[in-house]
């Protein structure tokens, strides 16, 4: 795998600011949203079949996706809770049966905002019964702002999901998924996490399109 491309200085500074802001979220909710360790071990066995997918994906983590880590030992996706577009409680289990690209973003995070048009294009290209981009907003103040920003910037293909409580970030910080924003991870149709990216990427690039297409078996 080639080294990750250098992030432009302004973009890098914004990512560092996002990292610092996340530190304010706190370290509470130690077991919030997580299954007991015994059930995690049992579920890990269910993810063995996902290695066939990750073996195909690993060589494709290059170019614009060089910083993407493909799991050599897929594991159950983290158990997180958030709200749907109508405020209804949701979890990643609601998407079981389709491959999802989970993206955590905030309006105060410049690289997050820069990614949204590309994620919208990715959803337009592949969204359907077997794939969805699940972009979860994590703003904790002025909760009307994210929806307004999406509308103002023509982001119309992505469904709106949010966790204004901050608990989702606490869970994913503890699990090691999140050190800053944006953070993106892919979960396959069986509910197993198969790839993780800590930082931004160009999700509408040919590299990303090929990666998603291969994950869906559309090659």
The pLDDT value recorded for residue 12 is: 53
Q: How many CA atoms lie within 13 A of 94 on its CB side?
A: 13
Percent of the chain with pLDDT over 70: 80
151: Cα separation from own chain's centroid: 21
Find the mean pLDDT for residues 175-190: 97
**Domain annotation covers residue 80:** yes
Assign 187 a pLDDT band (cuts: 50, 70, 90).
Answer: very high
Task: Answer whether the bond into residue 91 is a cis peptide, omega within 30°.
Answer: no
pLDDT digits (tens, 9 = 90+) for 136-176: 999 999 999 999 999 999 999 999 999 999 999 999 999 99
pLDDT at 35 over 50: no
Left (φ > 0), alpha (ψ -120 to 50) or beta: where does 44 sit? alpha
Q: What is the structure's pLDDT at 145?
A: 97
Mean pLDDT of 59-87: 97
* Structural domain includes residue 1: no
Number of domains into which the chain is organized? 1
Over pLDDT 90: what percentage of the chain? 79
| Average pLDDT, rounded, for the chain | 87
Distances in whole angstroms, Cα of residue 6 to Cα of each of 16, 19, 38, 115, 207: 14, 17, 41, 16, 16
Residue 81, domain member (yes or no): yes
Q: What is the CATH number of the domain that holds 160?
A: 3.40.30.10
pLDDT at 112 over 50: yes
In this structure, is residue 2 part of a structural domain?
A: no
Residue 136 lies in a domain: yes
**Stronger pLDDT, 101 or 15, i.e. the higher one:** 101
- Edge-first strand order for the sheet with 81-83 is 69-76, 192-198, 183-187, 99-105, 131-137, 161-162, 81-83, 89-91
Pick the closest to residue 61 from 184, 182, 192 (CA basis).
184
Domain ranges, residue 71: 9-215
What is the rounded average pLDDT of the residues 64-93?
97
Mean pLDDT to the nearest integer, 188-212: 98
Among 6, 172, 22, 201, which residue's Cα sits nearest to residue 106? Answer: 22
What three-state secondary structure class fits 8?
Answer: coil
24, pLDDT greater than 50: no
The pTM score is 0.82
């Amino acid at each position: 795998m080639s080294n990750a491309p250098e992030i432009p200085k302004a973009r890098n500074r914004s990512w560092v600011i996002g990292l610092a802001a996340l530190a304010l979220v706190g370290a509470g909710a130690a077991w919030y949203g997580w299954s007991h360790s015994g059930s995690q071990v049992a579920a890990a066995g269910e993810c063995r079949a996902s290695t066939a997918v990750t073996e195909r994906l690993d060589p494709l983590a290059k170019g614009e996706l060089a910083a993407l880590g493909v799991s050599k030992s897929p594991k159950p996706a983290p158990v997180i809770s958030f709200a749907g577009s109508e405020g209804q409680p949701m979890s990643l289990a609601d998407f079981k049966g389709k491959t999802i690209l989970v993206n955590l973003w905030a309006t105060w995070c410049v690289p997050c905002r820069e990614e949204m048009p590309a994620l919208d294009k990715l959803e337009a290209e592949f969204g359907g019964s077997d794939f969805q981009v699940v972009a979860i907003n994590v703003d904790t103040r002025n909760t009307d702002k994210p929806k307004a920003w999406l509308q103002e910037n023509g982001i119309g293909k992505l469904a709106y999901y949010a966790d204004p409580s901050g608990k989702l970030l606490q869970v994913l910080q503890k699990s090691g998924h999140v050190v800053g924003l944006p953070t993106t991870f892919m979960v396959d149709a069986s509910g197993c996490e198969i790839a993780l990216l800590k930082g931004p990427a160009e999700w509408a690039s040919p590299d990303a399109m090929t990666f998603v297409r291969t994950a869906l078996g559309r090659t």
